[in-house]
């Protein structure tokens, strides 16, 4: 399974909520264009940007912070500054083969950057994330409730 699976899972969950519009941003590698995030979501009260990442924790249990590129962090931060109602998040899915463990975190971009600046290593575990980062939402397997960030 790839990051695409995490994106499909997010899109499937978003489709359950009324009165929202979701756009998947596509990277155009031929024109050397990189998108600052994967999803743009419009609700009646706010706009939301989400960058989706996935880590298979069978081999390593540490998420390398270099997986989120500087242009993505900058894009998410700029998005929140363009309008006070705009929100930006990073979604990181930690999973094992056949999804024995399948935990996703949705972290506000401000919290993520504050957390990663304090790290002594270039990676972190779920335990370090839960202990040192504020404002994250945790989802186990298919128990998702995105109302907290959507409305």
Contacts (Cβ under 8 Å, ≥6 apart) of 18? none
Nearest to 51 by CA among 103, 96, 98, 87: 87
Q: What kind of fold does domain 3-150 have according to CATH?
A: Trna Endonuclease; Chain: A, domain 1 (3.40.1350)
pLDDT of residue 1: 39
Long-range contacts of 1-7 (CB under 8 A, 24+ apart): 1/54, 1/56, 1/95, 2/54, 3/52, 3/53, 3/54, 5/54, 6/52, 6/53, 6/54, 6/91, 6/93, 6/104, 7/38, 7/39, 7/52
Q: Are 14 and 139 in contact (CB under 8 A)?
A: no
pLDDT of residue 28: 65
- For 34-59, the pLDDT digits (tens) are 889 999 999 999 999 999 999 888 78
Domain ranges of the chain: 3-150
- For 108-139, the pLDDT digits (tens) are 999 999 999 999 999 999 999 999 988 888 88
- For 69-106, the pLDDT digits (tens) are 999 999 999 999 999 999 999 999 998 877 777 888 99
Question: What is the number of H-type helices and E-type strands within the chain?
Answer: 5, 8
Q: Annotate 28-58 with b (16+ C-beta within 10 A) or e (fewer).
A: eeeeeeebbbbbbbebeeebbbbbbbbbebe
């Amino acid at each position: 399974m790839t990051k695409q699976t995490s994106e499909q899972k997010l899109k499937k969950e978003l489709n359950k909520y009324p009165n929202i519009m979701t756009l998947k941003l596509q990277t155009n590698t031929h024109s050397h264009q990189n998108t600052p995030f994967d999803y743009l979501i419009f609700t009646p009260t706010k706009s939301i940007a989400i960058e989706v990442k996935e880590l298979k924790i069978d081999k390593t249990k540490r998420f390398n912070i270099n997986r989120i590129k500087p242009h993505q962090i900058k894009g998410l931060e700029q998005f929140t500054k363009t309008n006070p109602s705009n929100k930006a998040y990073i979604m990181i899915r930690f999973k094992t083969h056949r999804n024995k463990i399948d935990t996703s975190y949705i972290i506000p971009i401000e919290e993520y950057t504050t957390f990663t600046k304090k790290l002594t290593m270039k990676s972190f575990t779920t335990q370090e994330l839960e202990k040192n980062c504020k404002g994250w939402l945790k989802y186990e397997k298919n128990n998702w409730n995105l109302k907290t960030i959507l409305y």
